[in-house]
Chains A and B, each alone.
Chain A
Amino acid sequence: DTGVSQDPRHKITKRGQNVTFRCDPISEHNRLYWYRQTLGQGPEFLTYFQNEAQLEKSRLLSDRFSAERPKGSFSTLEIQRTEQGDSAMYLCASSLSSDTQYFGPGTRLTVL
């Protein structure tokens, strides 16, 4: 069990650029979640996958955001035309069905 990994750990970009983050869940975990955490707040749910199917998206996930989980393994979260308000920590978690969610170290995005 190598844990949930996320790449990159830090990303600095200019407003208007596109960014993509990757999450590798714990192997055999069928559920994968994305959360966003802004300074001084708890994580907020963005979206989740069961295997390769994206089953729910938060209203926080505007049309500039897209997430995929091809073949039910790793997942990517893409943000197009980044805005300063997108600056946050993006956290990925995985679980085996309804069991405990295990979190990765997060990707900290800074939009200048």
Chain B
Amino acid sequence: AQSVTQLGSHVSVSEGALVLLRCNYSSSVPPYLFWYVQYPNQGLQLLLKYTSAATLVKGINGFEAEFKKSETSFHLTKPSAHMSDAAEYFCAVNPGDGGSNYKLTFGKGTLLTVNP
């Protein structure tokens, strides 16, 4: 079974500041991990994914995340926030190659606010 915990339902940063969104996971098999972004009244867009290759994953729009097995974490970062980054961010896990069903288990999301 898999689960995801996103620490902080709301994160507020100033434009140009570091963005750090936290995600911890639990998985009984080697996981695949994903970050998705959702803008109001829209579906989810993939930011980046970890699928057991490089532990530091680079995604779109300047975001990156690091898989740390010892900490069961997959935190999302961006060096400098832009106003257009304001959205809700979801961390998700699936069983990867260890399971027959690749359904995603999502965290509850973190709403990112960027202040001018």
Residues in B whose Cβ lies below 8 Å from that of A44: 106
Report Cα–Cα, A8/B12, bound state, in Å: 34
Name the interface size band of chain B: 20 to 34
Residues in A whose Cβ lies below 8 Å from that of B41: 106, 108
Name the interface size band of chain A: 20 to 34
Q: What's the nearest-Cβ distance from chain B to residue A89, in Å?
A: 9
Selecting from A13-21, A65-73, A78-86, A94-102, the interface stretch reads A94-102
A104 lies within 8 A of B103 (CB): no
Q: What's the nearest-Cβ distance from chain A to residue B58, in Å?
A: 15
Which B75-116 residues have C-beta < 8 A from chain A? 90, 92, 96-97, 101-109
A56 lies within 8 A of B101 (CB): yes
Q: Does B14 contact A (CB under 8 A)?
A: no
Chain B residues in the interface with A (C-beta under 8 A): 4, 9, 34, 36, 41-46, 49, 90, 92, 96-97, 101-109
A-B residue pairs, 8 tightest by C-beta? A42-B106, A103-B43, A103-B44, A45-B103, A105-B43, A98-B102, A106-B43, A43-B106
Chain A residues in the interface with B (C-beta under 8 A): 4, 6, 31, 33, 35, 40-45, 48, 55-56, 91, 93, 95, 98, 100-106, 108
